Amino acid sequence: MKTVILAALFAGLLSIPLFAQPKTGVRPTGERVILVVPVTGTGTYSDPRRPALTPTAAEIGDKSKGLHFSWVASDDGRLAIVDLSARSMSVLARFRTDSRASSVFERGKHKREDVERELQKLRKDYKVNGSEGKKQ
């Protein structure tokens, strides 16, 4: 009886890796741009405070573009740090060239440390996470 229990326990321990989730890659996929833009809106329900430059609902709803964004206000509330990602750089082209963006940082062109140093001038606790966006 003791042998059967030990054999079952041993078999159970050996099967644990079979049920484990596969490790996902930590490398980011797609393209990413971080912009600094003015904040617009009065802060009312009908006119909320928001970045002056964000994707439209139609752009976000188009799954083929894979467009996602998040934003955080600067410490003084006048500027927004907008983090955009998409499947291709062509989807992000209009954001990169818009005159409302006072700063544009692209993955691969700017070092993470340099981006953080510049953005921490606007928001002291801003950190860039290499694959997920920002951490606060």
**DSSP for 80-129, written as a single string:** EEEEEEESSHHHHHHHHH-TT-SEEEEBTTB-HHHHHHHHTTT-TT-EEE
Give a yes or no: residue 90 inside a domain: yes
Q: Which residues contact 51 (CB under 8 A, 6 or more apart)?
A: 37, 38, 39, 40, 71, 80, 82
CATH of the domain at 131: 3.30.70
Q: How far is CA 16 from CA 5, 10, 12, 100, 128, in A?
A: 17, 10, 7, 53, 35
Residue 60 resides in a domain: yes
Does residue 57 form part of some domain? Answer: yes
Structural domain harbouring 50: 31-135
With 60 as the cut, is the pLDDT of residue 83 above it? yes
Confidence of residue 64 (pLDDT cuts 50, 70, 90): confident
pLDDT in tens, 5-54: 766 666 665 655 555 555 444 445 688 999 999 999 999 999 999 999 98
Q: Looking at the 3D structure of the chain, how many domains does it have?
A: 1
